[in-house]
A and B are shown apart, each in its own frame.
Chain A
Amino acid sequence: MGKSVAIIGTGQTRHGRRQDVCYPDLVKEAVEAALEDAGITLKDVDGVVLGTMPSMMEGVSSTHFYFAEAMGSVGKPVLKVETCGSTGQSIGHCGFFWASSGMADIVLVVGSEKMSEGDGQATMNTVFDPFFQRTFAAGAPGVFTMQSMEWMYRFKIPEDKGREAAAMISVSNHDNAMDNPHAHIRTRVTMDDVKNARIITYPVRLLDVCPASDGACAVIFASGDKAKKICKKPAWVKGIGFRGEEFFYGESDKAIWMSATEAAKEAYSQAGIKDPLKELDVAEVYNPFTYQEMIFYECFGFCPRGKAPDYVLKGTFKKGGRLPCGPSGGTLCTNPIGATGLIRMAEAALQVTGKAGARQVEGAKLALSHAMGGVDQFNGVTILGSEQ
């Protein structure tokens, strides 16, 4: 780790179908909220980082030009970082690097997406190479479902058990989203609703899948010294990890998933975490798909390999459980993709600073946030804590 860095403010839009605002205004909504939360103005910001999904999502390229005013980057150094779904974690890491290097005191990091303006699955398909994989991909659901099937085969998880646990994950995320005023989908669902929803990519059904959302998130990073001066209760960056793997989907073992496993390991080693289930108070796992969320639990060491369904069915990761996951309702209920990984980080910051409102996990001091991107290719993890 470099010099210590903390998050001193976060801001989120009301996520959902936001046809009431144009894209730059959506970005401004999050930036304004973050500045207000940190109690600073744009004048205090030394540099700006933006991240989104590929430009085809909204049909406007290199949006760091488009959002110059909305994200307050006029007259300041600006960077754009893109790693598909893991973008939110990557830009957060970039904010950390910048402040940690000593080259900036305060860095504004912005992630955004306006998915109602384009075609999510068609855009996601352009992430695949055009020669070999694109026509067999079926967007994100195809890949993530094949991965989940591979995982269930590998660990001999009975179909019914996997189905039951995945349904429970959907129900608890939907319940949690009711406590989150920013969440896109705020409806309760039952186990039967999930199990009987229409098939998207078998065995994954509609309520196992995240929505396509419009939304933006802004997070303000400050060098340790600055944070101590201007912020009463900062969220300290305790550890970060990021790993990538091979491009060809069929080349690496997605049931074990090296990138997710190693990204967490790296972050844990920096944060001094040895037993994540015991030491973490809350986790914001990137969970666009219920079945896949269980693979993450195993990669992050929350439970042994192949045992996630048992832990889920025991209620380990529910509100009030041993390690509550996704108290915000998670990616499953809100997914403006370029913002999503940063929302996980912002939510983790809210938790360790006691500012999470109705979704607060009481007394949370140490939180994991995470995002995954590409064709199951990238994973990024950030650990935030209440103590420096």
Chain B
Amino acid sequence: MKKEYRTIINDVALPYKWALGRTWTRFFDGLKEEKILGTKCLQCGKTFVPARSFCPDCFVSEMEWVEAAQEGTIVTWTLVDAEYDGQTRKPPYVIALVKLAGTDCCINHYVGGIDLSDLKKVRQKLKEGAKVKAVWSPDKKADIHDIAYFAPVR
């Protein structure tokens, strides 16, 4: 018989206090007011959501605030059906990359408001280019979950 050696069980839990800085504080304050704020680079003209303090392409800080559309299209998605420690939602659920109209990048979020029991129907509904819009949480805490999820638009 193979000998099993002992293991010691322990947890490492560490507290953190993450600074949002000026740009991301304003972005999250915007969510609380049901506004999705982005920044537009004055050099290349690209609009980024979430807002950035500098243009990731041009490396310049000359950015102007813009309010982004709350509707967009699905670029890609997946249905998560596996559990892991620290997960905020119980599977199954759908995550997606959503490109808000008029912006030049995608954001990660949940897609909700759909019946997940039939995969074929999910697949038909969540095609690339499918239109979705932000659904707001009734309870807002100025964080990313102020948007509850994106829901398909009929």
List chain A positions with a Cβ less than 8 A from chain B: 19-20, 56, 59, 117, 119, 121-122, 125, 130-133, 135-139, 141-142, 145-147, 149-150, 153, 159, 198-202, 204, 246, 248-251
Contacts and interface: CB of A to CB of B under 8 A. Distances in A.
A187 B62 CA distance: 57
A146 B76 contact: yes
Interface string B96-129: 1101000001111110000000010001000110
Contacts of A250: 75, 97, 99, 105-108
Contacts of B88: 135
A146 B109 CA distance: 12
A131 B20 CA distance: 8
A163 B116 CA distance: 21
A141 B5 CA distance: 31
B33 interface: no
Interface stretch (B36-44, B63-71, B79-87, B132-140): B79-87
Contact of A136 (B10, B12, B105, B109): B109
Question: 5 closest Cβ contacts across the A-B interface?
Answer: A250-B106, A121-B84, A150-B76, A153-B128, A202-B79
Given A136-B95, A150-B97, A201-B78, A121 B85 contact: yes
B27 to A, nearest CB: 9
Contacts of A204: 78
Interface in B1-42: 3-5, 7, 10, 12, 16, 18, 20, 24, 28
A117 B6 CA distance: 12
A248 B105 CA distance: 9
Interface of B: 3-5, 7, 10, 12, 16, 18, 20, 24, 28, 48, 50, 56, 75-82, 84-89, 95-97, 99, 105-110, 119, 123, 127-128, 143-145
A251 B81 contact: no
A66 to B, nearest CB: 14
A251 B28 CA distance: 20
Contact of B84 (A59, A119, A150, A159): A119
B75 A132 contact: no
A136 B110 CA distance: 7
A1 B82 CA distance: 45
A184 B52 CA distance: 43
Contact of A149 (B24, B76, B84, B110): B76
B97 A249 contact: yes
Given A121-B85, A131-B18, A137-B108, A153 B12 contact: no
Contacts of B24: 131
A251 B56 contact: yes
Contacts of A249: 97, 106, 108
B132 to A, nearest CB: 14
B33 to A, nearest CB: 18
Contact of B119 (A132, A150, A202): A202
